[in-house]
Amino acid sequence: MHIVLVEPEIPHNTGAIGRLALATGSTLHLVKPLGFSLDEKSVRRAGLDYWKDVDLHLWENFDELLAAHPTARTFLLSTKAEKSAWEVQFQDHDFLVFGPETRGLPEHWLDHRAIRIPMKEGSTRSLNLATSVAIVLYEAQRQIASLA
């Protein structure tokens, strides 16, 4: 699987998602601008001793990522999506795209690829980014494993 973080803002979320990517054999894509530094000193200070093992790709913008993967199946995660993630039949190598923590993906991006994590009506505005990635990533992994 491919995890795409568009303009991530919180380094600890990205660190936790990097650990998820490593644990699942997924690729982590970060789309600039980032709200933090990825230099060695910053990564070490954040305690990300596993960061060097993460399959990490850095992109200048989302269009650059899409151009590099023209046939990729992409799913755009948003609380504003109509379709539930439980309605999707995930495939190996799908791209799960998540927006910045404070604002999510731009609404004009949301089309037939937009999916949401089901939540109880009126319970909360959204989930933590790392939690959201884990929920959808492991559902995709579960589906793919059941097909193998």
Percent of the chain with pLDDT over 90: 76
The Cβ of residue 123 has, within 10 Å, a number of other Cβ atoms equal to 6
Domain count, the chain: 1
Q: How many CB atoms lie within 10 A of CB 28?
A: 23
Check if the beta carbon of residue 56 is closer than 8 Å to that of residue 91.
no
Confidence bin at 78 (pLDDT 50/70/90): very high
What value does the mean pLDDT take over residues 58-70? Answer: 97
Three-state SS string over 26-83 comes to CEEEEECCCCCCCCHHHHHHCCCCCHHHCEEEEECCHHHHHHHCCCCCEEEECCCCCE
Residue 125 domain boundaries: 2-147
Which residue's entry shows tokens 């993967």?
Answer: 69
* Confidence grade of residue 51 (pLDDT, cut at 50, 70, 90): confident
* Residue 124 pLDDT > 90: no
Note the pTM of the prediction, 2 decimals.
Answer: 0.93
Separation between Cα atoms, residue 58 and residue 65, nearest integer Å: 9
Note the pLDDT of residue 148.
55
Token digits of residue 6: 């568009």
* Residue 123 pLDDT grade (very low, low, confident, very high; cuts 50, 70, 90): confident
**What CATH number did the domain enclosing 125 receive?**
3.40.1280.10
